Amino acid sequence: DLTNFDLLTKLFESFNPNVVVHAAAISNPNAAMQLPAKDVYAINVKVTEHLAKLCEKLSVKLIYLSTDLVYAGYRGSMLKEDAKLIPISLYAETKLLGEIKIKNVFDNYIILRTALLYGISGTQTINHFQEMHERLKSGKLVSLFTDQYRTPLALHDAARIIREIIQKDLKTETLNFGGLERVSRFELGEIVCDTAKLDKNLLQKISLNDLPNYPAVTDVSMNTDRLQSFGIKQQTIEEAIIHIMKYGTHK
């Protein structure tokens, strides 16, 4: 329970880490909408602030996974880190507040504005990519947005890049953390079908306009030149799908 600050502090002091990767959050925008705002704030903001203070106290580097959804989402594509920040969902708002809390505490941090992630979950939870892949393999229809653009990043590639960031000992950086290609979810589905030899006719196009109460941005695709300037390279979507098909399934 990350909200148990006494227990968390004792864990830190006993473990004495060199680096903490903070990926815990109420991370589903729809789920966040269903919860009291104070509960989302407690996890996404207060816990983050407490972790930052613990890291500052014990001279620990903090790597914080924020989100691409902090960007305005309507001011062009392939956004750089200095683009306008206008989070439109409670989830995105609390993640941006988490960034601010960290910066107010200390400077030994890396903030990663994380794109849509896809791949094989390391838990029992079936994520969107795995659900899509399973439905396609079973010959079932899959509905995907055609009008929201992001720069998706494979989970295994994200883990590798975080390891490289740790090894390079970067600090005081806010980085776009995404893939190389600007695609819609529908286009991502097409690449999956082409690469994994699945039936593209099972893909159905839907629009954000079909979900009027869904707090969605239209384009938060990100420019990752800053990340690459440190000698870090991402896989293409096709390369990542080949890796996923070769080394892992949701089972």
109-154, pLDDT tens digit by residue?
999 999 999 998 877 778 889 999 999 999 999 999 999 999 999 9
CATH for 120: 3.40.50.720
* Contact status, residue 196 vs residue 142, Cβ threshold 8 Å: no
Count of structural domains, the chain: 1
Q: Which helix (H) or strand (E) holds 144?
A: strand 142-145
pLDDT at residue 108 in the model: 98
Residue 251 pLDDT grade (very low, low, confident, very high; cuts 50, 70, 90): very low
Amino acid identity for residue 192 in this structure? V
Report which of residues 27 and 204 the model is more confident about: 204
- Longest CA–CA span in the chain (Å) reads 55
- At 249 the pLDDT is 47
Lowest mean pLDDT among 105-114, 149-158, 174-183, 241-250: 241-250
Domain that holds residue 216: 5-247
Among residues 147, 28, 144, the alpha carbon closest in space to that of 90 is found at 28
Please, what is the average pLDDT of the chain? 93
φ/ψ of residue 109, rounded to 5: -135, 160
Measured in whole angstroms, how far is the alpha carbon of residue 34 from the centre of its chain? Answer: 20
Nearest by Cα to 145 from 224, 220, 35, 238: 220
Task: Give the CA-trace dihedral at 188, 117, 177, 42, to 10 degrees.
Answer: 140
pLDDT of residue 41: 93
Q: Which helix (H) or strand (E) covers residue 177, if one does?
A: strand 173-177
225-232 — which CB contacts under 8 Å span 24+ positions? Answer: 225/80, 226/80, 226/81, 226/173, 226/175, 226/176, 227/161, 227/175, 227/176, 227/177, 230/164, 230/165, 230/168, 230/170, 231/168, 232/161, 232/164, 232/165, 232/168
Helix (H) or strand (E) segment spanning residue 109: strand 109-114
Q: List for the chain the helix, strand, coil content (%; round to 5).
A: 45, 15, 35
